[in-house]
Amino acid sequence: MKSVATVLSSTLVTLGSVGACLLFAASVAVSAEAAKPAAKPDLAKGQAISTNVCAACHTSDGSRGSPANPILQGQHPEYLVKQLTEFKSGKRANAIMTGMASALSEDDMKNVAAFYAGKQAKPGFAKNKDLVALGEKIYRGGIADRSIPACAGCHSPTGAGIPAQYPRIAGQHGDYTEAQLVAFRGGARTNSAQMTGVAAKMNDKEIKAVSDYIAGLN
Taking alpha carbons only, the member of 112, 119, 102 closest to residue 47 is 112
**CATH architecture label of 129-215:** Orthogonal Bundle (1.10)
What letter represents residue 24's amino acid?
A: F
pLDDT of the residue at 218: 86
Q: Show pLDDT as tens, one digit a residue, over the chain (218 residues).
A: 455 445 435 543 454 554 444 445 445 444 545 556 778 999 999 999 999 999 999 999 999 889 999 999 999 999 999 999 999 999 999 999 999 999 999 999 999 999 999 999 888 989 999 999 999 999 999 999 999 999 999 999 999 999 989 999 999 999 999 999 999 999 999 999 999 999 999 999 999 999 999 999 98
State how far the alpha carbon of 104 is from the alpha carbons of 54, 97, 115, 137, in Å.
12, 11, 15, 40
**pLDDT given at position 190:** 97
Q: Which residues pair with 203 in a beta bridge?
A: none
Greatest distance between any 2 Cα atoms in the chain: 103
Contacts of 24 (CB under 8 A, 6+ apart): none
Rounded Cα distance between 131 and 165, Å, is 28
**Spatial contact of 103 and 34, defined as CB atoms under 8 Å apart:** no
Distance CA 68, CA 65 (A): 8
* Alpha helices per DSSP H over the chain: 4-35, 43-49, 55-58, 77-89, 95-102, 106-117, 132-141, 152-155, 174-186, 193-199, 204-215
Please say whether the beta carbons of 213 and 135 come within 8 A: yes
Over pLDDT 90: what percentage of the chain?
A: 77
Would you give the DSSP letter of residue 50? I
Q: What is the pLDDT of residue 198?
A: 98
What are the pLDDT digits (tens) for 138-156? Answer: 999 999 999 999 999 999 9
Q: Which phi-psi region, left, alpha or beta, contains residue 37 (left: φ > 0; alpha: ψ -120 to 50)?
A: beta
Cα–Cα distances (Å) from 193 to 93, 184, 196, 199, in that order, read 15, 9, 5, 10
CATH class for the domain made up of 43-117: mainly alpha
Q: Are 111 and 42 in contact (CB under 8 A)?
A: yes
Per residue in 18-37, pLDDT tens?
444 444 544 544 454 555 67
Backbone angles phi, psi at 91, to 5 degrees: -65, -35
For 168, counting Cβ atoms within 10 Å of its Cβ (0-12 exposed, 13-18 middle, 19+ buried), the class is: buried
pLDDT of amino acid 28: 44
